[in-house]
Amino acid sequence: TTFSLVQVHCSPRSVFGVENFLDDDNSKPYTYQKGKKLKNPNKHVSFKQRTEAYMEPFTLDVFISKRFVSTSVTHRVTCKQVAVAGTNSKDIKAVLRSRSDIPACLVIGRILAERAREVDVYTASYTPRERDKFEGKIRAVVQSLIDNGIDIKVYLD
């Protein structure tokens, strides 16, 4: 009797006990490229589309809820947060009277600017989310960053 060797592909189980599923390209599990897959792979991609993430590598993210304000500066290519500030942290929470008013937004902008300068980040780009208007508290955070030495490019549609 002869046995044929059959190679069975079993992906290793992850730390949390959930199997790692491979995506369409059989590449690393749970890694997806941003954006849609092009229907036409030969379609021309402009120079600006290819280089924008490298020319303006840092983005500003501002989240404002009814209770607190949270901001961060993120590196676009590596997706690492280089500077973070929020009114929920203990040291800032104790000083502020309210955690979500405009003076709190100005303080958060100043603190984020200091932390960004510590890691040599002097420029960032900001695109408001679709539901956000560039006014009030969000504008206060961005204006505070600009006043404290961080150059912010705001992209409004």
Alpha-carbon span 134 to 122, nearest angstrom: 21
* Domain ranges within the chain, ordered by starting residue: 31-155
CATH architecture of 31-155: 2-Layer Sandwich (3.30)
The tens digit of pLDDT for each residue in 106-153 reads: 999 999 999 999 999 999 999 888 888 888 899 999 999 999 999 999
Look at the pTM and tell me if it is higher than 0.85.
no
